[in-house]
Amino acid sequence: MMDRFLSTVDDALRTVFAQHRGTQACPTVPGDATELSELDKKEAGALMRVNHVGEVCAQALYTAQAFATKNEALRAHFQKASAEETNHLAWTEQRLKELGDRPSLLNPLWYAGAFGIGLLAGRLGDKVSLGFVVETENQVEAHLDSHLSRLPSGDHASRAIVAQMKDDEARHALDARELGAIDLPPPVKGLMTLAAKLMTTVAHRV
């Protein structure tokens, strides 16, 4: 238990404060160069900051759920999903730098809040925890789809990243459903939607 606790703390510190490197190359669109005006760069930067915050929260959720479960196989599944989400974290971080923008100043707060929610979901049982994954990933997938329509049309670099992230999130939701996720009650889904809206609105600016 102590080893798991220390590993969880280490994951939190690395997620919030370390520079990240993915195990997969950042998605690109061959032959399509990205040329943006300053206004387009600003908008793309704000959207990618929101996506980066989403990946910080994903790390927190999966880390908390891995900590909470007593099922070793499920813990391994959460840890694998977290590792895959690290690619997204690295890609969005890299893209923010390319756009001359920065991550959210509130990332420690976002991480702490998401970790608490993930821990609560995990304590309610594995099927509830997996159901939370399904609903979270479904909402993230819809959110990323909206960003594909909002990103500047000439921002091929950001659009390639977001498109790959969207595919990965859909797969994570499918994996969780196959592992026995239950469908969460509508009021819970509504609260999750409100929380996500608050996060995306604030992160777009701060």
Task: Give a yes or no: residue 49 inside a domain.
Answer: yes
CATH number, domain containing residue 131: 1.20.1260.10
Among the listed residues 82, 140, 150, the one whose alpha carbon sits nearest the alpha carbon of residue 115: 82
Report the number of distinct structural domains present in the chain.
1
Mean pLDDT of 5-12: 78
pLDDT confidence band for 10 (50 / 70 / 90):
confident
Mean pLDDT of 177-185: 94
- pLDDT digit string (tens) for 128-159? 999 999 999 999 999 999 999 999 988 999 99
Given this model, what pLDDT does residue 32 score? 66
pLDDT confidence band for 1 (50 / 70 / 90):
low
Mean pLDDT of 23-30: 82
Domain residues for the domain of 123 are 37-203
Given this model, what pLDDT does residue 173 score? 94
Amino acid residing at 4? R
Tell me the pTM.
0.91
Given this model, what pLDDT does residue 31 score? 65
Pairwise CA distance, residues 39 & 36, whole Å? 8
Task: Give a yes or no: residue 23 inside a domain.
Answer: no
Greater model confidence, 84 or 97: 97
Backbone angles phi, psi at 200, to 5 degrees: -70, -35
pLDDT confidence band for 18 (50 / 70 / 90):
confident
Start-to-end CA distance of the chain, whole Å, equals 36
Task: Give a yes or no: residue 76 inside a domain.
Answer: yes
Contact assessment for residue 188 and residue 131, using Cβ atoms and an 8 Å cutoff = no
- Rounded to the nearest 10 degrees, the angle between the axes of helix 186-203 and helix 126-150 is 40
Task: Give a yes or no: residue 165 inside a domain.
Answer: yes
Given this model, what pLDDT does residue 8 score? 80
Task: Give a yes or no: residue 88 inside a domain.
Answer: yes
Beta-carbon-side half-sphere exposure of residue 83 (alpha carbons within 13 Å): 8
Task: Give a yes or no: residue 20 inside a domain.
Answer: no
- pLDDT digit string (tens) for 192-202? 999 999 999 99
Given this model, what pLDDT does residue 11 score? 80
Task: Give a yes or no: residue 6 inside a domain.
Answer: no
Task: Give a yes or no: residue 13 inside a domain.
Answer: no
Given this model, what pLDDT does residue 124 score? 94
- pLDDT digit string (tens) for 29-74? 776 667 789 999 999 999 999 999 999 999 999 999 999 999 999 9
Helices marked H in 29-70: 38-68
